[in-house]
Amino acid sequence: MQMKPINISEKFKLFNEHWTPKKIGELNGQQLLLAKLKGEFIWHSHENEDELFMIIKGSLIIEFRDKTIELNEGEIYIIPKGEEHKPIAKEEVHVLLFEPLAIKHTGDITSELTVKTFQNI
């Protein structure tokens, strides 16, 4: 349990990898992750978990099978469980993710981008 203030900007200084979420907190069976994104991720879905994206810096495109959205700084999007999505970051994007502890990074798909255990920072 995180028992001191978590400074989002300071936490983002602790890593530079893309598409490798870092865990900054846990509560109620959920986790709070930070990630830096750049380039195209893979199509995937999370069968049982809704996933929240909050944009801290930059602009993120998320492709769905039936639409494409663009999220800008200060915007939030909740991806319903089961919905296939593909995030695309033309320039580096900083995001905060909120999702269940049980979630798998790329759902039932495994790729070279898949992270099995999210590192605590």
Interaction between residue 2 and a second copy (CB under 8 A): yes
Q: Which of 23, 43, 98, 114 binds a second copy (CB under 8 A)?
A: 98
Retrieve residue 89's tokens. Answer: 């970051």
Cα separation, 47 vs 119, whole angstroms = 23
- Find out whether 81 and 47 touch, Cβ atoms under 8 Å: yes
Part of the chain binding a second copy (CB under 8 A), chosen from 3-11, 36-44, 86-94, 110-118: 3-11
Q: Which residues pair with 25 in a beta bridge?
A: 32
- Find out whether 18 and 36 touch, Cβ atoms under 8 Å: yes
Interaction between residue 43 and a second copy (CB under 8 A): no
Residues near a second copy (CB under 8 A) are: 1-9, 24-28, 30, 32, 49-52, 69, 71, 74-78, 80, 98-100
